[in-house]
Amino acid sequence: MAVDRRDGPALKRGHMKNEHSFRLITIGTLLAAALTASAQPAATGAGDEQTTSAAQSGAPTIEQQMKFLTEKLELTGDQQSKIEPIVREMDEAVHKVMQDESMCRYERQDHAKESRYRADREIRKLLGDDQKQKLDQLESEPHAELHGE
């Protein structure tokens, strides 16, 4: 009779992977669902293809994501100016990956997840301890309003 004998460190790694997956999903949801949290529609500028594309697909614009993060984390002007390029880069990378038909859906999701993790790590470097705690709290709570409910 075979017995599954996973040792403590292997179980801990599995638990940490699940925790990181949950955190990623939450970060992605927070960033991607900022559209539903924003009461006003985004103004799209002529030639702003990314904003127009996001608005048409129902995905939040970069401006809406920044508004959400600014309000929830009480970002300073300096933090906003440093975080906006990170959010923009993540948004563009995720958009590009999701349009890549050469990968299967799961590969696209994995690549998008990597972009979101990278953005989360970079953003956290710019936050104060209180803001990191707020972000942790946001990531640990369900947000029905972010899912259009």
DSSP states of 100-145? -TTS-HHHHHHHHHHHHHHHHHHHHHHS-HHHHHHHHHHHHS--GG
Q: Is residue 22 part of a domain?
A: no
Residue, of 18 and 36, whose pLDDT is higher? 18
pTM listed for this prediction: 0.62
Q: Is residue 80 part of a domain?
A: yes
Residue, of 140 and 41, whose pLDDT is higher? 140
Mean pLDDT of 103-113: 93
Q: 6: which residues sit within 8 A by CB, 6+ positions away?
A: 14
Q: Is residue 34 part of a domain?
A: no
The tens digit of pLDDT for each residue in 37-51 reads: 433 343 334 334 444
Q: Is residue 19 part of a domain?
A: no
Q: Is residue 134 part of a domain?
A: yes
Q: Is residue 3 part of a domain?
A: no
Which token pair is 54?
């996001």
Asked if pLDDT for residue 91 goes beyond 80, the answer is yes
Burial level of 10, CB count in 10 A (0-12/13-18/19+)?
A: exposed
Q: How many domains does the chain have?
A: 1
Domain span at residue 89 reads 62-142
